Amino acid sequence: MKFMQVKKIVKNQSATRQQDATTGAGAGSRSPEVAFAASALGAALRTVLADGSASHKTIADYLLRHQVRVTALGIEELADACKVSTATISRFAREIGFSNFAAMRSAVAQALQSVLQPVEKLRNSIARRQDASTPAGDSLAYAGANISATAMALAAGDIAAIVKKLTRAKVVYVLGFGLSSHLAGILADHLQPFCQHVVVVAGHGGTEVAAGRLTNITARDVLVVLSFPRYTLDVIRLTNFARDHGACIVSITDAPASPLAALGEHVLYAESSHPILPSSATAAVAVIEALAVSLMASNKANVAKAARLTEAISAYLYGAEPAAGGAKKRRAGARRTDRTDNNNDNNT
């Protein structure tokens, strides 16, 4: 697999930056990772990620996830980070159209000039903090940076298209394993009142039961699949199964380098970087809430459903005013109890 035209395309990107800024397709509307993946170099890396050898996939994945870091690494350091040899790094650079590693690293830096955002600067500042910083403070700072990056990557048109698919779907399946299973549960709870039928695919019984729940999925259905590092093989296999059966796939994941990105008809990115945890779920929850709110507000019928839901559960909420009908029934019940007590007293 050769991409000999990539270098030329990357060099020509500077000519289109002004047009991107004018049309709104530039970095200002996307996170650094998403914008870099959408560049010519990013497209070449995503192609390698899909079809390259195992070692080349590892390098492409690293470049897609750590563009800023790559610009400061030497070939030995990059080889060590990817657990490959320097010769493999050199072959990879030639494979995507560059004469050597240095030329590829320069191209990464050039592509980043048009996509670097304040979010990345915040991450760098976190990394440079003095010893006075605390793990809790750093974690909260990363959470804020992740939500900011996610907001930049989120497009209203993408949300609207997904809401339309969810509204029309006969069944909405929601899938997440491992660390993403609780996120799938949160999403399913939000969707339940406003979709025709919602099925949580992964639950008690593991992969075998999850596969059974997907047996009858069709082209009239939607599968919303969530996966963040660490990704599980089962979620990829089941998503491919649903895709092969014609279902619309909505992927909620962390980056274009994610294996779910290529499987989704629609993809929502939620940044998940964290200095200690395998991934942070903060931005993922924010995306789930954004999708749920968009669905709720998409039509008057859903607004009415939300009102009925609030009324139905109000009796179980602390401090809530009881509904008028419920109050009358309780007063009538109290009068009947009083009469029964009086009769008992007279009989004694």
Is the bond preceding residue 65 a cis peptide, omega within 30 degrees? no
Q: What is the mean pLDDT of residues 227-232?
A: 87
pLDDT tens by residue, 72-94:
899 999 999 999 999 999 999 99
Q: Which two tokens stand for residue 64?
A: 């897609």
Taking the C-alpha atoms of residue 14 and residue 23, their distance in angstroms, rounded to an integer, is 15
Q: Which two tokens stand for residue 172?
A: 């909405």
Taking the C-alpha atoms of residue 162 and residue 267, their distance in angstroms, rounded to an integer, is 9
pLDDT range class, residue 319, cuts 50, 70, 90: low
Mapping DSSP to helix (H, G, I), strand (E, B) and coil, where does residue 26 land? coil
Alpha-carbon 321 to chain mean position: 38
User: Which pLDDT value is given to residue 276?
Assistant: 84
Taking the C-alpha atoms of residue 283 and residue 269, their distance in angstroms, rounded to an integer, is 9
pLDDT tens by residue, 152-178:
878 888 999 999 999 999 999 999 998
User: What does pTM read for this prediction?
Assistant: 0.66
CB-based contact 216:190 (threshold 8 Å) = no
Q: What is the mean pLDDT of residues 220-235?
A: 92
Tell the burial category of 278 from Cβ atoms under 10 Å away from its Cβ (0-12, 13-18, 19+): exposed
Between the CA of residue 333 and those of 242, 314, 329, what are the distances in Å?
Answer: 53, 20, 6
First to last CA, the chain: 98
Give which of 106, 99, 65 is closest to 82, Cα–Cα: 65
